Amino acid sequence: MAVPLPTAQTRWRCTLCGNLTRFDVTRATRAVEYVHLDLAGEPRVEEREVLGESIESVRCRWCNAVDQIELVDRPSAGQSA
């Protein structure tokens, strides 16, 4: 099941426990990296261009639920609880 990315107006929420803040996200990323090796052979990525990225799964850190994540509206910045 594809999990939609949160936007500026939405965020993730676990439908089982209500968690809004802690998730393990598995991503598939396709990228081009410029790798600089120092004289000892240690690599360091100096530039990275992401060509494509998709979210494969999102797991709730509180209750370990998978495929139970939904998008909900974020509270307005001026709202108080």
- In whole angstroms, give the CA distance from residue 21 to residue 63: 12
Question: Please, how many CA atoms are within 13 Å of residue 48, restricted to the half-sphere of its CB?
Answer: 7
- In whole angstroms, give the CA distance from residue 18 to residue 34: 41
Q: What is this structure's pTM?
A: 0.70
Q: How distant is the alpha carbon of residue 4 from its chain centre? A: 10
pLDDT at residue number 65: 95
pLDDT at residue number 32: 98
Cβ burial, residue 6 (10 Å; 0-12/13-18/19+): middle
Ordered per-residue pLDDT tens for the chain, 81 residues: 577 889 999 999 999 999 999 999 999 999 999 999 999 999 999 999 999 998 999 999 999 999 899 999 998 855 555
Give me the residue spans of the domains in the chain. 8-71
